[in-house]
Amino acid sequence: GTRVSKCQISRPILIGNDAKPLTPEERVHAPPDHTHTWRIFVEGVDGEDISKWIKKVVFKLHDTYNNSTRSIESLPFEVIETGWGEFDIMIRIFFVPETHEKSLTFYHRLKLHPYGPRMEEEKAAGGLVESVQYEEIVFNEPFEYTYKLFLEN
């Protein structure tokens, strides 16, 4: 393939997690020390279908989890789990092979507890918390396939 010189394409994505305390009924079915259910995700902005250019997302969880490397190959790119602690999740994004783009690695700190500027709202919402980061993925001198893909989408 040929690269498109002097061209830079950037696409926004959202990386984040939400979490909430387990209800007493849910705690009956979860391991005894687990306190929260949470979801880690990679999403498009405004519901964009990112599977047109993202092939798979690998989430590396804390070693306390069974099968701590979770490979997600179709939408939604997310992992839903229960647990008791906060930790850093390594997130590796693989692009569709036609783009010839190398995978990119991000980190997200899993948030379970109300704290920070939104603490009062989070407490009022029964401990429902959310932590989302906006990332700009930049393709520098993309291959023609990638260039055309984003022209059309």
Interaction site with ligand SLL (CB under 6 A): 31, 62, 64-65, 83-87
Can you say whether the dihedral through the CA atoms of 19, 23, 26, 27 is positive or negative? Answer: positive
Give 116's DSSP letter: S
Nearer to ligand SLL, 32 or 97 (CB): 32
What is the smallest separation between the CB atom of 123 and ligand SLL, expressed in angstroms? 20
What is the smallest separation between the CB atom of 111 and ligand SLL, expressed in angstroms? 12
Least Cα distance to 41 among 85, 91, 84 occurs for 91
What is the smallest separation between the CB atom of 29 and ligand SLL, expressed in angstroms? 14
Nearer to ligand SLL, 63 or 136 (CB): 63
Sole residue written with tokens 């519901």: 47
Nearer to ligand SLL, 83 or 114 (CB): 83
Nearer to ligand SLL, 13 or 129 (CB): 129
What is the smallest separation between the CB atom of 87 and ligand SLL, expressed in angstroms? 4
What is the smallest separation between the CB atom of 112 and ligand SLL, expressed in angstroms? 8
Phi/psi-derived region of residue 96, left when phi > 0, alpha when psi is between -120 and 50, beta in every other case: beta
Nearer to ligand SLL, 63 or 120 (CB): 63
- Alpha-carbon separation of residue 96 from 40, 42, 78, 123, 125 (angstroms): 21, 15, 18, 41, 39
The neighbour count for residue 104, using CB atoms within 10 Å, is 15
Beta bridge pairs of residue 74 = none
